[in-house]
Structure 1
Amino acid sequence: MSDPRPVLVVTALHDPTVDVVINELHDRDVPVVRLDSGDFPLSLSLEAEITAHGLRGRLHTLSRTADLAQVRALYYRRPTGFAFPHLSEQDARFAVTQARYGLGGVLAALPGCLYVNHPHRIGDAEFKPAGLTAAAEAGFLIPPTLITSNPDAARAFAKRYAPVLYKPLWNPVYRIDGVSCVIEVADVQAKDIDDRIAGTAHLLQQRIRKTADVRVTVIGTKTFCVRIDSGLLDWRTDYSRLRYTPVEPPPGIEPSLHRYLAHFGLVFGAFDFAVDTDGQWWFLECNPSGQWYWLEPETGLPMRAALADLLKRTT
């Protein structure tokens, strides 16, 4: 007899990665309730009661209802934010905070639910300083990194560790002439740094003399490593130049992956490494909501099945 408890999927309307996971779950007769928190309250409603017996209640979309006490797993992947455009600026700000701490708080408190990943743990892990510190504690090699608003410190670091890269600490989307753009990773020299750096925080990092990149996707207890050859400083700038090869991790890497995830309370992570000329893997970052599905048709690795196994709670 199939388990009637649903998997709750929280994501934006257009998310092809989630689509393939939902199809896999449907093929396994696992019920799914999909929602976008940005639909609240127009096409998503909530009633949740908290008593001495715990949390219970329901979420209603236009086509599904989820019993909050029966959700077996929650797959949380980049939903849109709350918006109340019909309200004044001040009223909208109040409504957004109530939705975040109300609906968001309920979604973060589901009893007996497996989170992939918990939204609060995602938020913790998205801070690059925290990620790099945790990576060092987990046993990874990390490039020397400076976070500063001090021009003199930045210039001294750039001279000491040349070649050095500038990396955004977070990458909000810019719109230039109606086109979405992001700030790219770039080489920087001491002579390029002026006093404008004092305007905010910046991240500088020694550039690893790499021969390739590796994307490691950890899904529960399963690890999928893919070498990416491109010749690019940042392989994400031109997917047409990428070549993919499944590889095995060097000794010591896999335990460090799980130590890192355990530090943040995560069960999924998309890790990026640079491979240097000696074959050593250098930790760059881990995205707790990273993309992964594009690698499956390129490599044949059964990542979709692994994620469905995790959400179904068969592993």
Structure 2
Amino acid sequence: MRGRAAEPSVLVITCLDDATADVVIEELNRRGVPVVRLDPGDFPEHVTANASFDCSGMGGTMRTQTRTVELGAVRSVYWRRPSPYTAAPDLDEQDGRWCVDQARYGLGGILAALPHAHYVNHPWRNRDAEYKPAQLATAARCGLHVPPTLITNDPVQARQFATEYAPVLYKPLWNSDYIGPDERARTVWIEDVAPQAIDAGVSRTAHLFQQRVRKTADIRMTVVADQQFAVRIDGSPGVDWRRHYDALTYTPIETPPDVIKGVHAYLDAFGLIYGAFDFGLGADGRWWLYECNPNGQWAWFPDAICQPITTALADELQHPGERA
């Protein structure tokens, strides 16, 4: 389907390589719902924006290489994993930085202000909910169980915490891009940390230390509006199950009523429609919250688990704001 969409469209904001967005787009296409996929990282080379403003509000169009969408005719936005804003390679560093800032506040501002759109989730709500200190504080207020956690740049306090609450994990506060000397991308994984391993390097920035839950399994709980999809994850030989996908088994499970109440209070507190919650299932049966990714992926699950989540998201985007 080329050209201007005649019906209200779903706008999917993401990069090219996004399997999670792919399955939602496929489902919307199957239903005949007009979809426009747009990556802000393609601006301005492959994306053209024309937004006008007057006393009646905002109007105009957004054009990619294959689609044109009326800004006032976007029924919903699935904000997934956009690429960073970029500048033309022939610009010097200062000019390039200026252009990137203008793109972020110009195009980014347009995409965040679409007049009739239902956002899953709004990018500013995603941003607010990405800070782990805010996540943990909000989760506790919402009645969810939070493991003892310390965020610090004080090595002495870190060692004391690691001694008192052993075993303790270190977790990055943000998954920054990191390129090693071999030019390969590196990932900072969640790892056990002993008190004696904590040195003066802690003083160079903020570090998150958390008591390791004595767990029997991990749980990924994906929430779409009023629906929740909890999956028990077994088989991880290490503390970070993301390193061992091939060894894992997945089992859909029921969610305790107190956890349902807590996660929906949490989403409401941040103004989110969608959230991917990670829990540890304690030996005592408690669900201990590690974090909530407001933009988390789920397409690696087997089809039997993946399809209901796909359906729920497509329903939310096709019929904005309607609850099951």
Q: How many residues align?
A: 314
Residue 138 of structure 1 corresponds to 142
Residue 236 of structure 1 corresponds to 242
Give the superposition deviation at 1:24. 0.7
Comparing 100-109 with 191-200, greater Cα deviation is found at: 191-200
Residue 190 of structure 2 corresponds to 185
CA contact (8 A) 1:229 1:242 kept: yes
Could you tell me which amino acid in structure 2 is paired with residue 53 of structure 1? S
Give the superposition deviation at 1:294. 1.9
- After TM superposition, the structure 1 = structure 2 runs for residues 46-85 of structure 1, keeping only pairs within 5 Å, are 46-84=49-87, 85=89
Inter-CA distance 65–104: structure 2 relative to 1 (3 Å threshold): same
C-alpha separation in 1, matches of 2:56 and 2:44: 27
Inter-CA distance 197–36: structure 2 relative to 1 (3 Å threshold): same
> Does residue 194 in structure 1 map to residue 199 in structure 2?
yes
> Does residue 254 in structure 1 map to residue 260 in structure 2?
yes
Residue 308 of structure 1 corresponds to 314
C-alpha separation in 2, matches of 1:274 and 1:252: 15
CA contact (8 A) 1:293 1:303 kept: no
CA contact (8 A) 2:215 2:282 kept: yes
C-alpha separation in 1, matches of 2:123 and 2:310: 21
C-alpha separation in 1, matches of 2:125 and 2:305: 30
Could you tell me which amino acid in structure 2 is paired with residue 108 of structure 1? A
Give the superposition deviation at 1:46. 0.5
CA contact (8 A) 2:298 2:306 kept: no
Q: TM-score, normalized by length of structure 2? A: 0.94
Could you tell me which amino acid in structure 1 is paired with residue 175 of structure 2? N
Give the superposition deviation at 1:301. 5.1
2:257 is paired with a residue of what secondary structure? coil
Q: TM-score, normalized by length of structure 1? A: 0.97
> Does residue 263 in structure 1 map to residue 261 in structure 2?
no
C-alpha separation in 2, matches of 1:251 and 1:304: 23
C-alpha separation in 2, matches of 1:173 and 1:99: 21
CA contact (8 A) 2:299 2:306 kept: no
1:170 is paired with a residue of what secondary structure? coil
Q: Which runs of 4+ in 1 moved over 6 A?
A: none
> Does residue 295 in structure 1 map to residue 301 in structure 2?
yes
Give the superposition deviation at 1:52. 1.4
C-alpha separation in 2, matches of 1:257 and 1:198: 34
What do residues 242-283 of structure 1 show as CA deviations (whole Å, max 9, x unaligned)?
011100011211111111111111101000000011111000
- Residue among 262, 279, 285 paired with 2:291: 285
> Does residue 223 in structure 1 map to residue 245 in structure 2?
no
C-alpha separation in 1, matches of 2:23 and 2:150: 39
2:144 is paired with a residue of what secondary structure? coil
Inter-CA distance 300–103: structure 2 relative to 1 (3 Å threshold): closer
C-alpha separation in 2, matches of 1:97 and 1:91: 10
What do residues 46-66 of structure 1 show as CA deviations (whole Å, max 9, x unaligned)?
011111111111101111111
- Residue among 262, 274, 282 paired with 2:280: 274
**Aligned-residue identity in percent:** 52
Give the superposition deviation at 1:174. 2.2
C-alpha separation in 2, matches of 1:128 and 1:143: 13
CA contact (8 A) 1:224 1:301 kept: no
Inter-CA distance 289–308: structure 2 relative to 1 (3 Å threshold): same
Comparing 238-247 with 191-200, greater Cα deviation is found at: 191-200
C-alpha separation in 2, matches of 1:210 and 1:132: 19
Segments of 5+ residues of structure 1 without an aligned counterpart are none
Could you tell me which amino acid in structure 2 is paired with residue 240 of structure 1? D
> Does residue 42 in structure 1 map to residue 48 in structure 2?
no
What do residues 204-224 of structure 1 show as CA deviations (whole Å, max 9, x unaligned)?
001100000000000121110
Residue 128 of structure 1 corresponds to 132
C-alpha separation in 2, matches of 1:146 and 1:24: 42
What do residues 94-128 of structure 1 show as CA deviations (whole Å, max 9, x unaligned)?
11110000000010111121101111111111110
CA contact (8 A) 2:43 2:85 kept: yes
Could you tell me which amino acid in structure 1 is paired with residue 55 of structure 2? A
Inter-CA distance 300–117: structure 2 relative to 1 (3 Å threshold): closer
What do residues 175-206 of structure 1 show as CA deviations (whole Å, max 9, x unaligned)?
23232221111111211111121111100001
C-alpha separation in 1, matches of 2:230 and 2:218: 10
Inter-CA distance 14–220: structure 2 relative to 1 (3 Å threshold): same
C-alpha separation in 1, matches of 2:54 and 2:285: 56
Residue 155 of structure 1 corresponds to 159
C-alpha separation in 2, matches of 1:301 and 1:214: 18
C-alpha separation in 1, matches of 2:29 and 2:257: 37
